[in-house]
Amino acid sequence: MKKRIGISFTKTGFQNYWNWFTVAAQNDIELVELNFEKNNVEDIYTCDGFVLTGGVDVHPSLYNGKEIYNNIPVSLQLDRDLFEQKIYRYSQLNKLPVLGICRGMQLINVLQGGKLIQDLDNGNERHKKEESDKEHTIVAEDNTLLHNIAGSFSGHVNSAHHQAIDPNAIGENLVVNAYDDDDEKIIEGLEFRDKTDKAFMLCVQWHPERIKGKEENPFSQNLKNQFLSAIRGTTMKKLAVTNPATEEIIDELNEDNKESLQKKFDSLNKEQPIWYKLPLAERVNVLKKFTDLLDQDIEQLAFVLTSEVGKPLKQSRNEMNGAKARIKWLTDNAEKYLSDEIMSNTNGSDGYRMEERISYEPLGVVCNISAWNYPYLVGVNVFVPALLAGNAVMYKPSEHSTLTGLQIEKLLKQAGVPENIFHVAVGGREVGESLLDLAFDGYFFTGSYKTGQYIYEKVARKMVPCQCELGGKDPLYVADDVKDIKATAAATADGAFYNNGQSCCAVERIYVNEKVYDEYINEFIKEVKSWKIGSPTDETTYIGPLSRREQPEVLQNQVTDAVNKGATVLTGGNKIAGKGYFFEPTVLVNVNHNMNVMKDESFGPIIGIMKVKDDSEAIRLMKDTEYGLTASVYSSEKARAENVLKQINVGTGYWNCCDRVSAALPWSGRKHSGIGATLSHIGLRAFVKPKGYHLKG
């Protein structure tokens, strides 16, 4: 596994930095361009160390400097400063090596609370670059990291700057390790004073990457070697992201640990009250801008989603368009349901006026442990209303969709969500377990019943809200009075197999009235056989790979169990040979409730279809489950359908439709399908605490 060095992009001499490390990289180091113009913040999570490079002046607003000063550049780059601030903060959060060069040193000083001399005036003759770098001698301080690395108290270096570290405003925990060998004693290097529990961090004012004779100069070559040694010594646990269509590793991300999660939580907890104090209208505008950014970047975001979960590109776009529609409803209705409500305002017999009012206050800092099958749709159900209500959010995407989670974080912050109001927790089961030990004010989980039950029991002692959107074994009944069997078969097949059947509300059991059974089966099989199975990047593909490596075996076992108990496979039934987690769309008949395929959640492209005599038998079988998410009825009579649905203990009922979610309606499960609700006004208020006011005066 190669170690990665993230090098911040600069418009001046970037190739010099790249070449400097390329020579020494051998086969174990990979370079990553971290570019503020591309805003590829997600790549920060892949790096084992960082180089903050030179370039134009740090924006004076970051250290309360003068807006106008001598030799100010034609244009500053505040967006670069803020981008590199994220790099530096990430390095310190995760104790990763950092090398700050020229401007990079000045930025680190500022980020540690220090200030800069904005122009050296007379000192420019010695330090400011003209046609080429200036050259001068430096003196290294004894007992410093720099002196130990260079092995010398003095050296010859280059110079290309007109600003410098203010000796009267050196950043917190920073100490000078070198000065210019001149009467002015310009600061030439910084490092941490107290290095306890710190990774390698060294800053120099000169340019070791382009200094003359750099291979022989210990203030270049030794610095590089020591930095590379620190990079090679990093021990971050990595999360491998795999493409389910090719089984190739797309990327490797640094996982969080208990310490980094605690720090993220602390920052959320500190900043959340500031976010809540913003007017609701401002928070609404931020989330609306997030929607606009989703629309602008839809092709790139869809590609990332498809690459890590395997859903066809068309379905990835559909998911994002669906997310935009949900956000629109939530933002359009936030003021209506989150603003204070005056319940009464009357004069009492004592001559005083009594106002009774309900105020909706945020829970505080909430934990959103999300799912991989619909990262955008499932995610916006939680983090959008949470943010609207004034909460801060720790968002843990599934380990199968973390790249998408990082894209969500990037766009939210680009839209205006403050840095410490939304954080991503990167990792798998261990990270999720660590989140349960933190003092969140609410937990919102989407996933399996087994995991949901564990989370619910674990956090119960905290006595904070815990909502769980879990799985389902959703039944569908086709009555004998359906008028268009072909259309019904096509719609219900889509309800069972869309997104490869990997939907909590996918149709997982079908019951068909015996009067229309044969015709329905015939049309259903025709529909299933018409779909293209293949690469998810092919625009004509309907069935791509399953998202998880272990799922084809789960489905194969369900088929084997059903066939052994008397079921017939009409199409499919096997894992597709070759690379990728592909499984044939599978239709089983002659099934019964002794078979696992009719009792256990499948979460894949498999369906059992059962013949029934009448509505009563259908109802009895539909009710025979531990789950309670959705149920569907296809019939020409609304009253007949509603009669069936009223007898099924589910959170959502469908007539002549299925596998559908609306932001205007609550999304909730019963029994093993979960507890609590998202979406609708109920979902908006799931993230607040009501406070009653009795105001007399």
Q: Which tens digit of pLDDT belongs to each residue from 473-514?
A: 999 999 999 999 999 999 999 999 999 999 999 999 999 999
Q: Identify the structural domains of the chain with CATH numbers, from first to last.
A: 3-232 (3.40.50.880), 255-470+682-689 (3.40.605.10), 474-662 (3.40.309.10)
Q: What percent of the chain has pLDDT over 70?
A: 100
Would the pLDDT of 135 be above 80?
A: yes
Q: Residue 23 — pLDDT band, cuts 50, 70, 90?
A: confident
Q: What distance in Å separates the CA atoms of residue 529 and residue 543, rounded to the nearest whole number?
A: 11
Q: Residue 209 — pLDDT band, cuts 50, 70, 90?
A: very high
b/e map of 409-447 (b: 16 or more CB within 10 Å)? bbbbbebbbeebbbbbbbbeeebbebbbebebbbbbbbb
Continuous H helices in 479-591: 485-497, 517-529, 551-564
Q: Please, is 556 exposed, middle or buried when counting C-beta atoms within 10 Å of its C-beta (0-12, 13-18, 19+)?
A: middle
As a three-state string, the secondary structure of 142-178 is CCCHHHHHHCCCEEEEEECCCCEECCCCCCCCEEEEE
pLDDT in tens, 269-303: 999 999 999 999 999 999 999 999 999 999 999 99
Q: What percent of the chain has pLDDT over 90?
A: 94
Cα-flanking dihedrals φ and ψ of residue 155, to 5°? -165, 165
Q: What's the confidence (pLDDT) of residue 131? A: 73
Would the pLDDT of 427 be above 90?
A: yes
Would the pLDDT of 437 be above 90?
A: yes
Q: What's the confidence (pLDDT) of residue 1? A: 81
Would the pLDDT of 336 be above 90?
A: yes
Residues 12-31, mean pLDDT to the nearest whole number: 89
Q: Residue 130 — pLDDT band, cuts 50, 70, 90?
A: confident
Q: What's the confidence (pLDDT) of residue 601? A: 97
247 catalytic residue (yes or no): no
Q: Residue 414 — pLDDT band, cuts 50, 70, 90?
A: very high
Q: What's the confidence (pLDDT) of residue 127? A: 78
Residues 205-221, mean pLDDT to the nearest whole number: 95
Q: What's the confidence (pLDDT) of residue 22? A: 86
Would the pLDDT of 123 be above 80?
A: no
Q: What's the confidence (pLDDT) of residue 161? A: 87
Residues 93-115, mean pLDDT to the nearest whole number: 98
Q: What's the confidence (pLDDT) of residue 626? A: 98
Q: What distance in Å separates the CA atoms of residue 414 and residue 408, rounded to the nearest whole number?
A: 10
Q: Residue 181 — pLDDT band, cuts 50, 70, 90?
A: confident
Candidate list 84, 469, 508, 527, residue with the active-site label:
469
Would the pLDDT of 546 be above 90?
A: yes
The SS3 call for residue 514 is coil
Residues 6+ apart with CB under 8 A from 382: 366, 368, 370, 393, 444, 446, 678
Candidate list 468, 504, 505, 658, residue with the active-site label:
504
Q: What's the confidence (pLDDT) of residue 160? A: 87
What mean pLDDT is reported for the chain? 96
pLDDT in tens, 45-64: 999 999 999 999 999 999 99
Q: Which residues pair with 100 in a beta bridge?
A: 52, 203
pTM of the predicted structure, to 2 decimals = 0.95
Q: What's the confidence (pLDDT) of residue 122? A: 79
Nearest Cα to 515, choosing from 608, 594, 618?
A: 618
Nearest Cα to 668, choosing from 651, 648, 683, 654?
A: 651
Q: What's the confidence (pLDDT) of residue 256? A: 98
Q: What's the confidence (pLDDT) of residue 580? A: 97
Residues 263-271, mean pLDDT to the nearest whole number: 98
469 catalytic residue (yes or no): yes
pLDDT in tens, 582-592: 999 999 999 99
pLDDT in tens, 346-404: 988 888 999 999 999 999 999 999 999 999 999 999 999 999 999 999 999 999 999 99
